[in-house]
Chain A
Amino acid sequence: MKRVLIIGGGSGATFLANTLDRRQFETTVVSASVLHMFQPGLLYIAFKNAPAGITRAERRLLPRHVHFVQQDVTHVNLREHRVRTQAGMELTYDEVVLATGVQTAAARIPGLEEVNAQFGDYHSTIEQAQKVWRHLAEVRGGTIVIGQGAAICKCPPSPLEGVLLAEEFLRERGLKSRTKLVYFTPYPRPYAAEGINDIVAPILQARGIEVRTFFDLDRVDTANRTIYSIEGEQIPYDLALIVPPFIGAPITYEPAEVLDEDRLIITDKFSLRVKGVESAFAIGDATNLPTSKAGVGAHLEAKVVAQALAAKPARFDGRTHCPMDLAYGKGTFVIGSYAAPTVKYAPSRLNHWMKAAMARVYWISLRGWLDPLFDVYFRLTAPEKLAARKAHRLRPAA
């Protein structure tokens, strides 16, 4: 039996461990945490004061035949197939799958750590997301700045979702006229991919949210409560909710060249093999793949790796399918692939409901039981297909 070692215990790792055939593989999952967090839940803790029950025990999400080890991996020797943990444990493998996600790296931008510690963020921990809510709930007026601190963002729609939900909150509280909402992004338009931008830009305008594009965050001056861009612009704030940069897990690799400057694993975008070494794959946020860092991607990539490990033909097409909350009970999806540009997908209540339903469906989806359904759904919503249906139910959104 082939020994497969999966490093990580998040979306990609858990789904893969559930998918591998127990008759062919002896599978071990090693994760730094005994818990598994449904990360999209952080958005609703931060902006809707949702209950904090968004974690489950990883062990219970894995089939019994899969070994689960809670250890912080510190060294991975991809040449010798040896893995070492902080506690000094050594693990070996025939095939390894790296699924260690990304972590926030506020320290990369001067002043950002301080501002995130002050106001919270919704991309790291439940406590940080609760801190966002506490500050938002205290707003009585002033300028609220929300934006994306670096080019790469876990869940690319999430910075915009934050500002849209904040606007809904302020309006509901009757604070709209006393507050100014500013959204900043390093991109040329509110959402980088044009199909979705066509949907979102008019919504931002209709809701009175000021947008500052090409704003590449350089530093935060917490004393003067102002953020500055590399381009030389500045925005003063009373409350700043800034999505920090993201980097890969602090693991030392042999060879070191498998990592890029953000500690992301250099991965072949079609085969998902780690560049330059044998018997190693990478999936999910941990990779440098030119696609959205999203749970959906991690899931689809895990499927490709499961096929490859079973010696079946396998190729990742770069498919994205990220739900985006537009507030006021409406949503859209960011749908695209390497070959097909992002589709202009009409907002609807159904899309929003699907995103909300995911909070429950997520845990079952990790087991792979819903995959026959997902396969059909993803086929029906393939970007090429949607683009071909030219007049795709496009209604004006606001």
Chain B
Amino acid sequence: MAETEPRTVVDAREESCPGPITDLAKAYRRSKVGDVIELWATDPGVKADVRAWAAKTQNEVVSIEDQADKVVAVLKIHRR
């Protein structure tokens, strides 16, 4: 993926109920085909949610990475 691709960073760190998946759902609603969404979260459950979400919506998980202070999931939108 080219470094120059436009990305929407969704910062969902330290959120209380209902949590990061809300932000992903919001970002998805705003997105267009070809967009890249980078989701930051501290809730470890986000990894399974992101994978399940991508499988269901037929979008792509480019990467999910554990960083020192957060989980970073990069998603590419193929279907809207």
Contacts and interface: CB of A to CB of B under 8 A. Distances in A.
Contacts of A152: 22, 26
A214 B25 CA distance: 9
Interface residues of B, number: 24
- Sorted nearest first, the 9 A-B pairs with minimum C-beta distance are A192-B18, A290-B15, A151-B25, A318-B16, A214-B56, A193-B17, A291-B16, A186-B25, A338-B14
Interface of B: 12, 14-19, 21-23, 25-26, 28-30, 43, 45, 49, 52-53, 56-57, 79-80
Nearest to B51: A188
Interface string A316-328: 0011101000000
A336 interface: yes
B5 to A, nearest CB: 22
Nearest to A261: B30
Interface string A70-81: 000000000000
Contact of B18 (A156, A232, A261, A269): A156
B12 to A, nearest CB: 7
A340 to B, nearest CB: 8
Contacts of A269: 14
A130 interface: no
A261 B30 CA distance: 10
Contacts, number: 82
A194 interface: yes
B10 to A, nearest CB: 11
Interface residues of A, number: 34
Contacts of A230: 28-29, 57, 80
A285 interface: no
A290 B12 contact: yes
A320 B17 contact: yes
Interface in A321-346: 322, 334, 336-339, 341-342
A382 to B, nearest CB: 13
B29 to A, nearest CB: 6
Given A188-B52, A214-B56, A216-B29, A336 B22 contact: no
B57 A292 contact: no
B21 A188 contact: yes
Contacts of A341: 43, 45
A231 interface: yes
A187 B15 contact: no
13 contacts: A152-B26, A187-B22, A192-B19, A193-B17, A193-B18, A214-B52, A231-B56, A231-B79, A261-B30, A290-B12, A292-B16, A336-B16, A338-B16
Given A151-B29, A187-B21, A230-B57, 7 more contacts: A214-B52, A214-B56, A214-B57, A231-B57, A320-B16, A334-B17, A342-B16
Contact of A291 (B15, B23, B45, B79): B15
Contacts of B30: 261
Contacts of B25: 151, 186-187, 216
Contacts of B49: 188
Nearest to B56: A214
A191 B20 CA distance: 13
Nearest to B24: A151
B18 A187 contact: yes
A338 B28 contact: no
Contacts of B12: 290
Contacts of A338: 14-16
